[in-house]
Chains A and B, each alone.
Chain A
Amino acid sequence: MSALTAKMRTLLSVYYAYMLEYRAEIVFWVLGGLVPFFFMAAWSEAARQGHTAYTPGEYERYFFAVFIARQLAIVWANWTFSDWVRTGKLSFHLLQPLDPAWRILADHAAERGVRLPMLALIGFVFALLFPGALVWPGWAPLLLGLAASTLAFLLSFLVAYSVGLLSFWFEDATEIFELWYVLMLFFSGMLAPLSLYPEAVQRAVYYTPFPHLVYLPASYWSGLEPADPRGFAVLGFWTLVFFAVARLLWRAGRRRFSAMGA
């Protein structure tokens, strides 16, 4: 076992314990993520009136998949890092032989461990409320959807972390991440299946990360439309871009942090 794996294993177990302390808050975070179900209600009603291309059952399946994809990719690295810079906690992490990004990554991964049982419970209630809406997608789509969702999480994490790193320059940079969220809300398939968007819009945003963050895993899981595997390449490209951005900001920012007063 490599030294980094051993460190991450300990960090995961300790941060899991830490997140369990915040289980009540996590319940509210999960409930705050129920927004896709409101869109589901609206689109299902439209379907019942025969105005759209899909059936109410297909919308239910799709928006449940959107909900899960979104829940698995939620990040707050921007907030954590900014807090560390403002309160000086970053100094302690800089004194240790471990890049602080690993701590925040472990923090997110451990939180998923606390969130998953809640998602299972919501899934159970959903299945009771909408019988027949949830169908087994098959192993391959399930795993491909999970892979897409993991990549989406990684990219979102790197974007949020890069925004957090801007705190080296701005007093509070965390809100910049809201812009990312707004673009994701409109172009990721959270409001409606992307196949319902005008073709020109679909083409314009195709090479941005947004259409693949939620729509790609949701397509695999819901089977609403055939999933586009090229989305992996787009997500992979943007993940590499933001990895490089995060490293550059880290190097420049640490120098600035040290210059201005740690």
Chain B
Amino acid sequence: MSVVVANRLSKMYQVAEKEPGLAGTLRHFVARRYKQIAAVREVSFELGEGEIVGFLGPNGAGKTTTLKMLTGLLYPTSGRAQVLGYVPHERRSGFLKQITLVMGNKAQLIWDLPVLDTLRVNAAVYEIPEVEYKKRVAQFAEMLAIEDILTQPVRKLSLGQRMKAELLASLLHHPRVLFLDEPTLGLDVNAQVAVRDFVRSYARERGATVLLTSHYMADIEALAERVILIHEGRLLFDGGLETLLDRFAPYKEVRLDLAEPAPAGAFDAYGEVVDFEGRSVRLLVTKERLTGVVAALLERFEVRDLTVDEPPLEEVIGRIFAAGAV
């Protein structure tokens, strides 16, 4: 049975338009003009129990709007959203107690008080018994390595510590469905890894379903086996990561480390030059030509090192979005 259902989900916004200057302000005051913006257009997908799915798209693609419709913060203009059998925007208590939304750019922690105070409030709001509350805090704090900071005011914490504390506060009630919107935004590499590990452990332990947006492909590669791509409000792709790479990256990345610097343009005939810095070259070569190209490169240049890899996911996704359609 599907835990999350988006069925031809659409969201239109009405946005007021105003020209600059005094004349524009007066016109805006007297006769306001609006235009309709389609943030999400007929997006459909389903998530099963325990699935971790990456939700990708450039800025303004409609990811956050979709997450807000699935968490009940927004009413869909048309289409149907269903999570754990509930209609999200009805905000039934049974629904709210089983979901969470973590937003990397917004905080729910009480700024001037220690983290523990927000946790106490959340424990009360979600009716978590005292003993269970203490057990969960201890367990999550250990997993996130933030035992020492729980008694410190939130305003004194680093961004990484705050995000970990946000995660703790958001998962304290053991939600079954996690909507994570850029949970690693702005974090350093170590903090990103810690957040990823925590989400993975939590989801595995509790069989939770996760829909995750992130600009860091490392998050997606580490956590998700399936990705949903959205662009300009439309669904572009929904499937496994492997399928995505096979379908949209019919090339391999060839990295060369040369003994002597080569002239510019020396590699144009072999593939698409992505990076070129004298002795270091990065090429994208179609899979059919790969063997021939590698042989030719080794024959023509004095090569110190040569590696062949899948191209970085960022690049693949970036190319798909740049093309605009699939």
Contact = CB atoms under 8 A, between A and B. Distances in A.
Given A92-B108, A97-B126, A14 B73 contact: no
Given A94-B91, A97-B93, A258-B89, A11 B121 contact: yes
Nearest to B94: A97
Given A21-B112, A94-B72, A95-B96, A261 B13 contact: yes
A91 B64 CA distance: 13
A11 B74 CA distance: 27
Given A17-B113, A95-B71, A95-B73, A260 B14 contact: yes
Contact of B74 (A10, A21, A258): A258
Interface residues of B, number: 32
A96 interface: yes
Interface string B159-176: 000000000000000000
A255 B75 contact: yes
Contacts of A201: none
A3 B121 contact: no
B124 interface: yes
Nearest to A259: B75
Contacts of A255: 75
Nearest to A19: B112
Contacts of A3: 127
Interface residues of A, number: 27
B125 A91 contact: no
B106 A21 contact: no
A94 B127 contact: no
Given A14-B120, A91-B106, A255-B75, A96 B112 contact: no
A205 interface: no
B157 to A, nearest CB: 16
B100 interface: yes
B97 interface: yes
B74 A97 contact: no
A14 B121 contact: yes
Interface string B59-98: 0000001001001111100000000000001010100110
A54 B127 CA distance: 56
A94 B112 contact: no
A10 B91 contact: no
A7 B93 contact: no
A229 interface: no
Contacts of A98: 125
Interface of B: 13-14, 65, 68, 71-75, 89, 91, 93, 96-97, 99-101, 103, 106, 108, 110, 112-113, 117, 120-127
8 contacts: A6-B124, A22-B112, A91-B73, A91-B103, A94-B91, A96-B96, A96-B126, A260-B13
Given A11-B124, A14-B117, 16 more contacts: A7-B127, A10-B123, A11-B121, A14-B110, A14-B120, A17-B117, A21-B113, A88-B106, A91-B73, A91-B101, A91-B103, A94-B73, A95-B72, A97-B97, A97-B125, A259-B74
